[in-house]
Amino acid sequence: MELLQGRIRDYAWGSRTAIAELQGRPVPSAGPEAELWLGAHPGAPATVDRDGSRVSLTDLLDAEPAHWLGEHLVGRFGTRLPFLLKVLAADAPLSLQAHPDAAQARAGYAADADRVNYVDPYHKPELLVALSEFEALCGFRDPAESAAAISAFGVPGLEPVVAALRTGPAGLREAVRLLLNWPAAERAGLVADVLAADVAGPDADLARALAADYPADPGVVVALLLHHVRLAPGEAIWMPAGNLHAYLRGTGVEIMAASDNVLRGGLTPKRVDVDELLRVLRFEVLDEPVVRPEPVAPGVVTWPVPVDDFALHRVEVTPGGPEARLALPGPRVVLCRAGELVVDDGVGRVTLTAGQAAIGAAAGGPLVLGGDGEGFVATAGVR
């Protein structure tokens, strides 16, 4: 095991307290801190200390792929870490967005010479586990519910959207297309008409909250097509390819396939490619977006997901209690969330405090975790 230094991304929607508090730094931070990246993605690779200098994890993997990744993982994913572990801290809504599946990402990357939509040829399914109460929009809900919610505002211009939704899931595509192609000069008026309606309830509250940040964005109405969930700590949301979603507020641990392909659909000043988003979206109802932890050993839980790029486990250990022993494949990234963790893979031993992370190579043995604390262990999902 070796200490891993993550990289902080300072996106405008980030928190000035959550990541700083996790790492024991002064609060508030000098600016927003949105994500702590703990992986080898070229956008912000973590580093390992070697001989008094910091070496990029990407360079280490390139130099010794079999040692770090293992032959099986190299054969499946090549000489790259297939997952990216993050701490995400949102004080304001992220954009509505979706990610391509593997075939779409390969084709999109090959055709996108200017890298407008596709920055790499990989898919990006993702799982977010709440550390605090966490609010999100994720996946299409029953179109009949959305039709009723939008109809209640009594905005005549939205009648074609309501009519499309009343046809069921088959009408989701048309409803999204109509909203995202709303004439630019009329968008502020649309949102104003929604806000002016004498309507109470969760949908109206959501529209008002989003409009406070995006008063001329039709994404305020698109949001009403999605599940609005509030996670308790330990609950998770699973976002497979093609599902429209947005994280609104809270702190969580996120694990995903190592990609940065994002197609936006509103609630953003950034570019929205409507045609490409419509091509990638899955216009189907996501029946159950919330994933609850499943125990796999004393003090160890996981959130099962149907991909082999990654798996995530949470470990809790106490003094005098049993150590946690995890025989997990490939490289392992360990993040200490609270307390103190002693992590040993038979090759190296590190002690982590809250906010610190470590990585163990595939060449190491099973992970043994002791001490008095809580941590997350990220691995590939390949068996």
In a domain, residue 285? The reply is no
Task: Give the strand pairing for 349-353 and 324-326.
Answer: unpaired
Q: What is the structure's pLDDT at 54?
A: 92
Look up tokens 């919610």; give the residue: 149
Q: What is the structure's pLDDT at 373?
A: 97
CATH number where 334 lies: 2.60.120.10
Could you tell me the two tokens for 126? Answer: 């993702």
Question: Based on the domain organization, do 76 and 150 belong to the same domain?
Answer: no
Q: Half-sphere exposure (CA, 13 Å, Cβ side) for 283?
A: 17
Q: Which helix (H) or strand (E) holds 189?
A: helix 187-196
| Full domain range(s) for residue 106 | 7-138+229-272
Question: Based on the domain organization, do 123 and 151 belong to the same domain?
Answer: no
Q: What is the structure's pLDDT at 383?
A: 62
> How far is CA 128 from each of CA 108, 210, 232, 323, rounded to the nearest angstrom?
25, 21, 12, 26
In a domain, residue 30? The reply is yes
- The dihedral built from the CA positions of residue 141, 144, 145 and 149, taken in this order, carries a sign that is positive
Question: Based on the domain organization, do 43 and 110 belong to the same domain?
Answer: yes
Question: Based on the domain organization, do 167 and 234 belong to the same domain?
Answer: no
Question: Based on the domain organization, do 163 and 307 belong to the same domain?
Answer: no
Question: Based on the domain organization, do 111 and 246 belong to the same domain?
Answer: yes
Give CA torsion, residues 26, 28, 32, 35, to 10 deg. 50
Q: How far is CA 57 from the centre of its chain?
A: 21
120-157 pLDDT, tens per residue?
Answer: 999 999 999 999 999 999 999 999 999 999 999 999 99
Question: Based on the domain organization, do 258 and 331 belong to the same domain?
Answer: no
Domain count, the chain: 3
Question: Based on the domain organization, do 79 and 192 belong to the same domain?
Answer: no
Last residue within a domain, chosen from 190, 208, 226: 226
Question: Based on the domain organization, do 219 and 233 belong to the same domain?
Answer: no
Last residue within a domain, chosen from 217, 238, 272: 272
Catalytic residue among 249, 264, 314, 337: 264
| pLDDT above 90: percentage of residues in the chain | 96
Rounded Cα distance between 312 and 294, Å, is 11
Question: Based on the domain organization, do 318 and 178 belong to the same domain?
Answer: no
Clarify whether 271 is annotated catalytic. Answer: no
3-state secondary structure of 332: strand
Question: Running along the chain, 383 residues long, what does each successive block of 10 average in pLDDT?
Answer: 96 97 96 97 93 91 94 93 98 96 96 94 96 97 97 97 97 97 97 96 96 96 97 96 96 97 95 96 91 95 95 96 90 97 95 97 94 97 75
Q: What is the structure's pLDDT at 153?
A: 97
